[in-house]
Chain A
Amino acid sequence: MKIIVCIKQVPAGEVKINPETGTLIREGVQSILNPFCEYALDEAIRIKKEQEERGGEEVEVIVLTMGPPQARSALLRCLELGADRAILLCDRKFAGADTLATSLALSEAIQKFEEDFTLIFTGKQAIDGDTAQVGPELAEHLGIPQITYVTSTNLIPERRRIQVERETENGYEIVECKLPALVSVSSGSNILRIPSFKEIINARRKVIKNVIADDLSKDTSRFGLSGSPTQVAKIFPPKSRTGGQKIESDDPEAAVSRLIEFLQENVFVDKE
């Protein structure tokens, strides 16, 4: 059984904008595996181990990403955490892709190389773009059902089904779905794994396959910037608020009195 985990590499810290040039300042920002993708991978590895323990069908976990050459390190991270092998879609022709072009490239790679998959995991969203679109779009391209905002899963291989718990706005629901399917994982209560030093070393012996646009299709105009219906017209820093008065509380009682006066001025507290 093949489980594919689609992941993304994201900046770990804050990316700011240079107000003069309007360009992104990325210096000094480490790149990490998107945390929600890590939850997704964790769920896939958990299923793999569970199947091993109960002597079920062997599970192969394949991580897939599209990104620049540096994205290898995010894939390596996944291999350390227990994935079996990795695929990197890396080509200038993929660059500048919006969610539609990204999901299309991912779907074609899956159809081309891993068509016999059972399950696809994604994180609910990436912490840099926050769109939460690639997962559902990928499911649509592949014509498979999707379940989003999932917090835990229960694979029922004998019935070719998966049962999941997913967050709703005011609670949760249990959803059952036919396989193959795509599941997008939100944080839930997972405590992330930490690899052993041995796993870190072993990961360096696993395969990361490089795929270029021409490997997927003759019509590469559907990928990258040229395949993206949306265009970024401009980027700019958000409007900022300016701070008001700030008092150091050498004297907490007095500071609180001033606060109460402030609340009274703004009619949140009645005057005496």
Chain B
Amino acid sequence: MDFIRTGYSPGVTFEKVRKIEGKENIESMFSSYTIDESKLKGYAEWLFFPKNEEEIVTVVQEMEKRGVPITISAARTGIVGGCVPFGGAILSLEKLNAILGLGFDEKTKQWYVRSQPGVSLKELNEKVIQKKFPELEEKQKELLDKFSQDEKTYWYPVDPTEKTAHLGGTVATNASGSLSYKYGATRKWVRKVRLVLANGEILDIPRGKYHASPEGTFTIQNTAGETKTFSIPYYRIGTNVKNAAGLFTEPSMDLIDLFIGSEGILGVITEVEVWITEKPENVIAVTTFFPTEMDAASFVNDIRLKDSSLKTEFLEYLCPDSLKLLRKKQISDPPLVNMPPIPKNVAAIIFEISYNEDSLPELYERLETIAIKNNSSMDQTWACYEDREIDRITAFRHLLPETVNAIIAERKQKNPTIHKLGTDMAVPIIPETNLAGILSFYREKLRESNLEHVIFGHIGDNHLHINILPKDEKELAKAKELYKVFAKKAVSLGGTVSAEHGIGKIKKEYFNIMFDEDKRRQIIEVKQALDPTGLFSIGNMVNI
């Protein structure tokens, strides 16, 4: 069905909504609401803390009337300035923080959770894993009992590193992370979305109900009976590449997918349903060391393409320079790194794989064969299976970007305008030669540039982050040029300029490399159909 009706919400009186007025008040008391983890700093004249959907409707209608744009804000953990306002109002969804229900889909035999957008992933997962939902005990006693009697452990397998991120924010940005290698990004896990549109009306979109017409259109009817038909974008993005850039589209697409990852430009999410799935009981995290980067890349290809029974949870990369940086840190502050001595002149692949005790030796033999083929060995690994040890490995992985940020912070004291330049490109994993190809390309260009850098990240998805650490303005300018060269190369291979960070306000320059004027126009047309006056999250993804 390509026809959908919006619903009516009465709203409340505007006075009832908790709000902060005035740029100065916001700046002096709530300055953290005008910045996110990208450190892009904005400003706003209004800050709203609605408690429910009705209050959101009221804010949307009132701001529409006054011609004040709204920037939607959640936990502000994004790194592209998506929630950073430049004037207008901030709509913070943090008070919509209740888990609304647990569900069991009889058709698919799958559990799901219904939640408001302001619930953090940390809270969601703690409750799901422990099967403890005190807020639902009264109204869903029977279902909760059924859930706790289910012997399997469940989880919501989306981990964008920052677990304080809010569910709504992760749906709006189609968040992903290391686990997306096995489980996919947020999109796959969303069962239903409910939104407030710019006209103050409600859209309730369960997955699988509304699909685009063969002509690529949807028709929306409002409560006054007026209909509007709009076309979905007809550009195509490769299907085997992890992507967070642009609006999603595909022939006869599901309407829900248009909103997932739309960076808040189409509506305000007020409710979501997400699937949860079985959490592997035993996983072993193995850090494997290789004499060269190419050995590591070849190991990755062998694991993910040659032996289909080896289903790793994720495959992460640390280049020799990354390990060198961490080793330096280890020498100066061993407890902070909290790892055995890091070997010299090696690259590392960290992967996690589920196992059971009986098949462990067989799994070992298979991994050892692949490791030996690529000039490594399971004898030179760090292997962890206890929770607290896996946490150690995770902390070790995250220490790299933290260390890079600390170095930049130090350099900033001398050159306040410099900053780190982090890429987010991914290329399709097939053909197999893509990984080595893009790595060699990065290497060659980086060597020519002579810029300090590290390469690390989600190598399982051919999604590597290059972090360039400029020493001064001149190097920063050089790095920015290099970034564009990398973006063009990734796009030429059918890849993306942003696999997970999104575009927001600070990656548009690179977005434009991937999306030419015509493609951007297709996005703008969707935006204008649903939000004709340009109310929501202006400045994200496209300029209007």
- Complex A–B touching at CB under 8 A: yes
A-to-B contact residues, CB < 8 Å: 12, 28, 30, 32, 77, 189, 191, 193-201, 204, 250-253
Interchain CA distance A78-B378 in the complex, whole Å:
19
Residues of B within 8 A of A194 (CB): 339-340, 382-384, 389, 392
Q: If the complex has contacts A12-B388, A189-B334, A191-B334, are A28 and B130 also in contact, measured as CB distance less than 8 A?
A: yes
* Contact yes or no, B335 A191, CB < 8 A: yes
Interchain CA distance A253-B379 in the complex, whole Å:
57
A-B pair count, CB < 8 Å, reads 65
Contact of B387 among A12, A77, A196 (CB under 8 A): A12
Name the residue of chain B whose CB is nearest to the CB of A27: B130
B172 contacts the other chain (CB 8 A): no
* Contact yes or no, A196 B382, CB < 8 A: yes
Name the residue of chain B whose CB is nearest to the CB of A254: B29
* Contact yes or no, A197 B338, CB < 8 A: no
Q: If the complex has contacts A12-B387, A191-B335, are A196 and B381 also in contact, measured as CB distance less than 8 A?
A: yes
* Contact yes or no, A251 B29, CB < 8 A: yes
Contact of A197 among B337, B383, B389 (CB under 8 A): B383
Contact of B388 among A32, A191, A196, A251 (CB under 8 A): A32
Q: Of residues 249 to 288 in B, which have CB atoms within 8 Å of A's CB atoms?
A: 284, 286
Interchain CA distance A12-B387 in the complex, whole Å:
9
Interchain CA distance A162-B316 in the complex, whole Å:
44
* Contact yes or no, B360 A191, CB < 8 A: no
* Contact yes or no, B379 A196, CB < 8 A: yes
Interchain CA distance A189-B364 in the complex, whole Å:
32
B311 → A minimal CB distance (Å)? 17
Interface centre among A30, A77, A194, A250, by most chain B C-beta atoms within 10 angstroms, is A194
Q: Of residues 378 to 402 in B, which have CB atoms within 8 Å of A's CB atoms?
A: 378-389, 392
Residues of A within 8 A of B389 (CB): 194
**Chain B contact residues, majority secondary structure:** helix
Name the residue of chain B whose CB is nearest to the CB of A205: B361
A55 → B minimal CB distance (Å)? 23
Q: If the complex has contacts A30-B386, A191-B340, are A196 and B380 also in contact, measured as CB distance less than 8 A?
A: yes
B-to-A contact residues, CB < 8 Å: 29-30, 130, 284, 286, 334-335, 337-340, 360-361, 364, 367-368, 377-389, 392
* Contact yes or no, B361 A197, CB < 8 A: no
* Contact yes or no, B361 A189, CB < 8 A: no
B473 → A minimal CB distance (Å)? 35
Q: Which 3 A-B pairs have the closest CB atoms?
A: A197-B378, A197-B383, A194-B382
Residues of B within 8 A of A196 (CB): 378-383
Q: If the complex has contacts A12-B387, A12-B388, A30-B387, are A250 and B29 also in contact, measured as CB distance less than 8 A?
A: yes
Name the residue of chain A whose CB is nearest to the CB of B341: A191
Q: If the complex has contacts A28-B130, A30-B386, are A197 and B340 also in contact, measured as CB distance less than 8 A?
A: no
Name the residue of chain B whose CB is nearest to the CB of A12: B388
Interchain CA distance A67-B385 in the complex, whole Å:
22
Known pairs A197-B383, A201-B364; list 18 more (Cβ under 8 Å).
A12-B386, A77-B386, A191-B335, A191-B338, A191-B339, A194-B339, A194-B383, A194-B389, A196-B378, A196-B383, A197-B286, A197-B368, A197-B381, A200-B364, A200-B385, A201-B378, A204-B360, A250-B29
Interchain CA distance A189-B338 in the complex, whole Å:
10
Residues of B within 8 A of A77 (CB): 386
Residues of A within 8 A of B377 (CB): 198
Interface centre among B335, B339, B381, by most chain A C-beta atoms within 10 angstroms, is B381
A248 → B minimal CB distance (Å)? 11
B250 → A minimal CB distance (Å)? 41
Residues of B within 8 A of A197 (CB): 284, 286, 364, 367-368, 378-379, 381, 383
* Contact yes or no, A250 B334, CB < 8 A: no
Residues of A within 8 A of B381 (CB): 196-198
Interchain CA distance A193-B284 in the complex, whole Å:
16
Residues of A within 8 A of B130 (CB): 28
Interchain CA distance A152-B378 in the complex, whole Å:
30
12 contacts between A and B (CB under 8 A): A189-B335, A191-B337, A193-B340, A194-B389, A194-B392, A197-B284, A197-B286, A197-B367, A198-B381, A199-B383, A250-B29, A250-B30
* Contact yes or no, B29 A200, CB < 8 A: no
Name the residue of chain A whose CB is nearest to the CB of B286: A197
* Contact yes or no, B334 A198, CB < 8 A: no
Name the residue of chain A whose CB is nearest to the CB of B387: A30
Residues of A within 8 A of B335 (CB): 189, 191
Interchain CA distance A32-B385 in the complex, whole Å:
11
